[in-house]
């Protein structure tokens, strides 16, 4: 199970994720769940059909509690062309699933140390994205190591830690 969370907008570059999913599906049986809504929903549905992924990609819409679904996934994927901080990466780390993300400007590279607590691939590189997802799905030890390191990294973003940092800055 692979999960992606985000608005259905150009910024999230879901076409790259669907291309990666098409490649991945030729190697391993898997399913992608996309949580979110947005103006590109109809285009995304067309793209899913174009790649023959109707039985392998499910659009779940907006979810009040995405963490329940995320916690059941084997991988979290962020395919964004650009991001802000990328809270969803930190949330996936805290939930305990390995993250594969594009190394877009701002966010992912500030949170993920590539190969340690997550995987970074270049924006738009669906082949690398598919390969990294495949490796995590097939190498349980690698996945477990990433999850352990990611869990530690997620603690850096705990509200108690952040508040102490703000206190030091202003006092």
* Per-residue pLDDT at 164 exceeds 80: no
Residue 132 makes CB contacts below 8 A (sequence gap 6+) with: 100, 119, 121
pLDDT higher than threshold 70 for residue 160: no
pTM: 0.90
How many residues can be counted in the chain?
A: 171
pLDDT of residue 87: 86
| pLDDT digit string, tens, across residues 75-106 | 999 999 999 887 899 999 989 999 999 999 88
Give the pLDDT of residue 31: 98
Alpha carbon distance 77, 31 (integer Å): 12
Say if residue 154's pLDDT is above 70: yes
Distances in Å between the Cα of 14 and the Cα atoms of 18, 40, 91, 102, 139 are 6, 10, 20, 12, 25
pLDDT band at 169 (very low <50, low <70, confident <90, very high): confident
pLDDT one-digit tens code per residue, 16-52: 999 999 999 999 999 999 999 999 999 999 999 999 9
Whether 167 has a pLDDT exceeding 80, the answer reads: no
Structure tokens given for 100: 């594969």
CB 104, CB 121: distance < 8 Å: no
Q: Output the pLDDT for position 76.
A: 98
């Amino acid at each position: 199970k692979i999960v992606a969370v985000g608005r259905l907008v150009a910024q999230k570059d879901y076409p790259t994720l669907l291309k990666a999913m098409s490649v991945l599906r030729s190697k391993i049986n898997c399913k992608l769940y996309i949580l979110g809504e947005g103006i590109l929903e109809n285009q995304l549905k067309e793209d899913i059909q174009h790649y023959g992924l109707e039985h392998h990609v499910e659009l779940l819409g907006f979810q009040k509690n995405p963490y329940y679904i995320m916690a059941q996934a084997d991988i979290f994927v962020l395919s964004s062309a650009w991001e802000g901080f990328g809270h969803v990466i930190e949330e996936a780390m805290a939930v305990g699933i390995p993250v594969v993300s594009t190394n877009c400007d701002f966010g992912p590279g500030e949170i993920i140390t590539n190969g340690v607590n997550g995987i970074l691939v270049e924006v738009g590189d669906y082949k690398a994205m598919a390969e990294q997802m495949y490796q995590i799905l097939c190498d349980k030890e690698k996945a477990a190591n990433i999850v352990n390191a990611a869990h530690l990294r997620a603690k850096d973003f705990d509200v108690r830690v952040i508040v102490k940092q703000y206190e030091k800055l202003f006092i």
